[in-house]
């Protein structure tokens, strides 16, 4: 468990260093995800004993992903007054845009999947 957490943090650290060092528009943890894919490739390719237990911490975090958004969510409740002046426009925009984005993305995915012959 601790070892797998250390590997995850190491990947994130590497991602942050690369993202900030090169001024990329990608968040460090997303590059860290790519680094972690590299770690998993190494594990399956060479099977070093040190990487045998690399999954538990990540599995645990993903099982409780909702929990991790609670502090930011509470911040929103306390800051709803920033919406005050334009609350109607913003509420309508968020609902309409989110629904439209979901529909366009899912339909595009399905249509193109069928076009490339699935």
Partner 1 sequence: MMRQDFALWVYLTQGPLLWLTVTLAAYAVADGLSLRAGRHPVANPVLISVALVGGVLVASGTEYATYFAGAQFVHFLLGPATVALALPLWEHRAVVRRSAVPMLAALVAGSVVAAVSALGVVWAFGAPEGVLVAIAPKSVTAGVAMSITEAQGGDPALTAVLVILTGMIGALVVTPLMDALGIRDYRARGFAVGLASHGIGTARAFQVDPVAGTFAGIAIGLNAVMTAVIVPVVLGWWM
Residue numbers 18-57 binding partner 1 by CB under 8 A:
25-30, 32-37, 39-41, 55, 57
Is-contact 28 20, C-beta < 8 A?
Answer: yes
CB of residue 63 to partner 1, shortest distance in Å:
8
Q: Which of residues 68-97 bind partner 1 (CB under 8 A)?
A: 68-80, 82-83, 86, 88-90, 92-97
Closer Cβ to partner 1, 41 or 50, answer by number: 41
CB of residue 106 to partner 1, shortest distance in Å:
4
CA angle 9, 66, 39 (to 5 degrees): 30
How far, in Å, CA of 90 to CA of 53, rounded?
Answer: 46
CB of residue 2 to partner 1, shortest distance in Å:
13
Work out whether 17 is an interface residue with partner 1 (CB under 8 A): no
Closer Cβ to partner 1, 22 or 63, answer by number: 63
For residue 115, CA distances in Å to 101, 102, 110 come to 21, 20, 9
CB of residue 74 to partner 1, shortest distance in Å:
5
How far, in Å, CA of 52 to CA of 30, rounded?
Answer: 23
How far, in Å, CA of 40 to CA of 3, rounded?
Answer: 14
């Amino acid at each position: 468990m601790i070892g797998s957490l250390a590997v995850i943090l190491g990947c994130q650290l590497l991602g942050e260093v690369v993202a900030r060092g090169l001024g990329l528009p990608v968040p460090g943890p997303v590059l860290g995800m790519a680094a972690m894919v590299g770690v998993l490739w190494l594990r399956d390719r060479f099977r070093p004993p040190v990487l045998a237990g690399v999954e538990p911490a990540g599995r645990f975090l993903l099982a409780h992903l909702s929990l991790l958004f609670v502090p930011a969510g509470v911040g929103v409740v306390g800051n709803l007054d920033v919406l005050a002046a334009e609350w109607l426009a913003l509420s309508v925009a968020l609902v309409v845009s989110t629904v439209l984005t979901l529909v366009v993305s899912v339909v595009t995915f399905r249509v193109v999947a069928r076009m490339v012959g699935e």
